[in-house]
């Protein structure tokens, strides 16, 4: 299906949306224009860093890469196996794959399955972090995940250089093909091409856009990346520690490289300078896109014209309504996203089971859409409405897997449990849409709730009683929110009169609109 890439530039913000049939496939927002990119750890940047702390209990280490916060390096990303170890692991993998062909459904051990991934190649050896890294050691690392919330960047020693069609790996000997290329004949062809291109001891992976590309095209891409790696090695000879030795493409270029393919029918840009930059980049790397770039010159903002702003507003809400009248309640925390499916106003026309089934099926598409749009990551728990029929549960699960195929981020989904729950993980390398565009409410401190006026009033009364009993002073003053003051001094409680009659002290209640509902102060003094 034809796709459109919509690019919006506003001062120090860049926004890019990939649309397919008016549905947002991907949304990217960047606000780093005003930053010094040398000091901002973008995904793909490579640093000469120094190990500042090794944590045996967490099998990880902190690495100073010269940015505001130290980077986190986990054992899986810290250990680089020798060439002999890699080849031994590759032979084991072949054996397991042969067993899979003979006995479909056989479970591959974790350390084997990770070797078959297209990009996330990780080795899980029986080694300890303290045997791999020492404090003060100089290490070459690459940013795998940008800083998120209070966490610093996550880095890896498994360096990868991404080109238009391939990914180059200088430390891992491996030839792989993207899983999104499903045609077995094409996979075999690409594998043969990769084997003929790559050098001994190096790795290469064919990206999805490599499908159908010639040997000449892939070889040219490989040569560029190989030269880039040689340039990095030259920089290392004179590089300080810590320092950046390679800065990846900027936000616009990186998105164009990763998102555009032959299916993109049109690129619409609302800024003349950006249009020239896009044209220049595509002429060099994606010449097939020539003539597809259009300038948007209407008075209405481009994201409003295409309905993207409205979708962003929906994505910032915790409740999303379905067309049938059902709804999703989406709650995002630091490492967990919970999604609750409700029938809402949808009552169906047949049986309750059929109504529930149709609601869950409709929810599946919206869930996959919202996960992409919000860039949710980590553990995701989906609470579907309970379905009695196993065939319905299987249908909803298969529909979810199908809907997630549009997602470029890696996902892993477990079948629906008897309780109607689906556990899944989704990988992300950048912050979520909500955290990019919002900040915690200073009033409720991000909880979404505050104490009621009655609760606060009762707390204040208890503090007043404590103060008048302990203090030898004959006057007590309370400063609080007007609603709290009204309740304390009103007829319902009559606290000032009670204090005067019982303790022969004067209570003065003063309202202040500047006070938070939960905020109050109590003073005692003499006349």
Residues 162 and 196 in one domain: yes
Contact 52, 44 (CB under 8 A): no
Phi-psi region of 445 (alpha: psi -120 to 50; beta: other; left: phi over 0): left
Contact 320, 369 (CB under 8 A): no
| Whole-Å CA distances, 265 to 7, 128, 257, 432, 471 | 14, 50, 15, 28, 78
Give domain status of residue 75, yes or no: yes
Q: Would you call 199 helix, strand, or coil by DSSP?
A: coil
Give domain status of residue 445, yes or no: no
Contact 153, 146 (CB under 8 A): yes
What pLDDT does 350 receive? 67
Give domain status of residue 443, yes or no: no
Residues 2 and 43 in one domain: no
Residues 192 and 257 in one domain: no
What pLDDT does 113 receive? 44
Q: What angle do CA 58, 62, 63 make, to 5 degrees?
A: 150
Helix, strand, coil share (%) of the chain residues, nearest 5: 35, 25, 40
Residues 404 and 462 in one domain: no
* DSSP code, position 450: -
Residues 254 and 243 in one domain: no
Last residue of one domain, picked from the residues 394, 409, 437:
437
- Count of Cβ atoms closer than 10 Å to residue 394 Cβ: 13
242 cis-preceded (ω within 30 degrees of 0): yes
What pLDDT does 364 receive? 95
380 token code pair: 């995701």
Q: How far apart are CA 68 and CA 117, in angstroms?
A: 32
What pLDDT does 114 receive? 43
What pLDDT does 34 receive? 54
pTM: 0.80
Detail the DSSP E strand segments found in 118-263.
138-145, 154-156, 161-162, 166-169, 175-177, 203-206, 243-246
Contact 155, 83 (CB under 8 A): no
98 token code pair: 């042969």
What is the b/e burial string over 311-342, where b = at least 16 CB atoms within 10 angstroms of the residue's CB?
bbeebeeeebebebebbbebebeeeebebbbb
Residues 336 and 350 in one domain: yes
Give domain status of residue 444, yes or no: no
Residues 209 and 164 in one domain: yes
CA nearest 167: which of 225, 228, 101? 225
**What CATH number has the domain bearing residue 490?**
3.40.1260.20
**What CATH number has the domain bearing residue 11?**
3.30.420.60
Structural domain count, the chain: 4
Residue entry with tokens 């190990």: 51
Residues 153 and 200 in one domain: yes
DSSP 449-513: ----HHHHHHHHHHHHHHHHHH---SEEEEEE-HHHHHHHHSTTT-HHHHHHHHHS-EEEEEE-T
Which strands form 264-269's sheet, in the order they lie side by side?
23-30, 13-20, 3-10, 264-269, 293-295
CA nearest 302: which of 269, 324, 275, 328? 269
Residues 195 and 298 in one domain: no
Last residue of one domain, picked from the residues 195, 222, 248:
248
Which strands form 520-525's sheet, in the order they lie side by side?
506-511, 475-480, 520-525
Last residue of one domain, picked from the residues 226, 248, 270:
248
Contact 47, 242 (CB under 8 A): yes
Residues 155 and 224 in one domain: yes
What pLDDT does 275 receive? 93
| Whole-Å CA distances, 17 to 14, 264, 432 | 10, 12, 15
What pLDDT does 227 receive? 95
Angle, helices 352-374/390-403, rounded to nearest 10 degrees? 20
Range of the domain at 474: 453-525
Give domain status of residue 447, yes or no: no
Q: How far apart are CA 49 and CA 140, in angstroms?
A: 6
Give domain status of residue 343, yes or no: yes
Q: Along the 527 residues of the chain, how does pLDDT read in single tens digits?
A: 678 999 999 878 899 999 998 899 999 998 876 555 556 788 899 999 999 999 999 999 999 999 888 999 999 899 988 888 888 877 777 776 666 666 655 454 544 444 444 344 555 557 899 999 999 999 999 999 888 777 889 999 999 999 989 999 999 888 889 888 889 999 999 999 999 999 988 999 999 889 999 999 999 999 999 999 999 999 999 999 999 999 988 889 989 988 887 788 999 999 999 999 999 998 888 888 888 999 999 989 999 999 999 999 999 999 999 988 889 999 988 779 999 999 876 555 667 888 889 999 999 999 999 999 999 988 999 999 988 888 999 999 999 999 998 888 889 999 998 888 999 999 887 888 988 888 888 888 777 889 999 999 999 999 999 998 888 888 999 999 999 999 999 888 889 999 898 989 999 999 999 999 999 999 987 65
- Count of Cβ atoms closer than 10 Å to residue 25 Cβ: 19
271 token code pair: 């800024």
Give domain status of residue 446, yes or no: no
* DSSP code, position 347: -
Give domain status of residue 426, yes or no: yes
Residues 375 and 296 in one domain: no
What pLDDT does 101 receive? 63
Residues 458 and 322 in one domain: no
293 token code pair: 């770039």
What pLDDT does 277 receive? 92
Bridge partner residues of 295 (DSSP): 269
Q: Would you call 15 helix, strand, or coil by DSSP?
A: strand
Note the helical H segments in 179-214: 184-197
User: What's the Rg (C-alpha) of the chain?
Assistant: 29
**What CATH number has the domain bearing residue 152?**
2.40.50.140
């Amino acid at each position: 299906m034809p796709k459109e890439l919509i690019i919006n530039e506003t001062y120090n913000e860049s926004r890019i949306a990939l649309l397919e049939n008016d549905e947002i496939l991907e949304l990217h927002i960047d606000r780093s224009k005003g930053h010094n990119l040398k000091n901002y750890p973008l995904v793909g940047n490579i640093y000469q860093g120094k190990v500042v702390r090794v944590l045996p209990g967490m099998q990880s280490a902190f690495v100073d890469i010269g940015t505001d916060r130290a980077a986190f390096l986990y054992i899986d990303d810290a250990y680089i196996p020798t060439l002999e170890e890699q080849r031994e692991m590759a032979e084991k993998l072949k054996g397991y794959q042969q067993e899979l062909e003979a006995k479909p459904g056989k479970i591959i051990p974790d350390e084997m399955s990770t070797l078959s991934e297209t990009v996330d190649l990780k080795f899980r050896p029986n080694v300890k972090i303290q045997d791999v890294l020492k404090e003060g050691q100089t290490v070459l690392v690459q940013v795998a995940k940008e800083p998120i919330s209070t966490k610093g960047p996550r880095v890896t020693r498994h360096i990868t250089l991404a080109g238009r069609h391939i990914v180059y790996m200088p430390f891992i000997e491996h030839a792989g093909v993207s899983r999104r290329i499903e045609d077995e004949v094409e996979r075999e062809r690409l594998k043969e091409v990769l084997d003929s291109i790559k050098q001994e001891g190096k790795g290469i992976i064919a990206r999805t856009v490599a499908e159908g590309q010639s040997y000449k095209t892939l070889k040219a891409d490989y040569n560029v990346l190989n030269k880039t790696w040689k340039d990095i090695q030259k920089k290392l000879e004179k590089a300080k520690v810590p320092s950046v030795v390679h800065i990846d493409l900027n936000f616009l270029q990186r998105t164009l490289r990763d998102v555009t393919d032959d299916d993109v029918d049109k690129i619409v840009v609302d800024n003349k300078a950006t249009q020239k930059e896009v044209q220049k980049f595509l002429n060099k790397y994606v010449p097939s896109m020539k003539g597809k770039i259009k300038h948007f010159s209407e008075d209405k903002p481009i994201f409003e014209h295409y309905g993207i702003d409205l979708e962003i507003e929906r994505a910032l809400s915790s409740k999303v309504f379905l067309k049938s009248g059902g709804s999703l309640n989406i709650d995002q925390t630091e490492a967990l996203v919970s999604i609750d499916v409700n029938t809402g106003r949808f009552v169906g026309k047949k049986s309750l089971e059929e109504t529930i089934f149709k609601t869950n099926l409709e929810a599946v598409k919206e869930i996959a859409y919202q996960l992409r749009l919000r860039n949710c990551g980590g553990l995701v728990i989906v609470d579907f409405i309970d379905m009695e029929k196993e065939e319905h549960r299987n249908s909803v699960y298969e529909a979810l897997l199908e809907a997630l195929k549009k997602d470029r981020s890696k996902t892993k989904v477990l079948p629906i449990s008897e309780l109607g729950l689906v556990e899944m993980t989704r990988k992300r390398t950048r912050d979520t849409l909500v955290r990019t565009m919002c900040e915690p409410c200073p009033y409720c401190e991000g909880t979404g709730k505050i104490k009621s006026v009655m609760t606060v009033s009762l707390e204040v009364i208890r503090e007043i009683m404590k103060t008048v009993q302990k203090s030898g002073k004959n006057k007590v003053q309370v400063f609080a929110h007007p609603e709290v003051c009204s309740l304390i001094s009103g007829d319902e409680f009559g606290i000032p009169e009670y204090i005067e009659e019982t303790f022969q002290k004067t209570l003065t209640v003063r309202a202040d609109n500047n006070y938070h509902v939960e905020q109050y102060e109590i003073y005692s003094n003499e006349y």
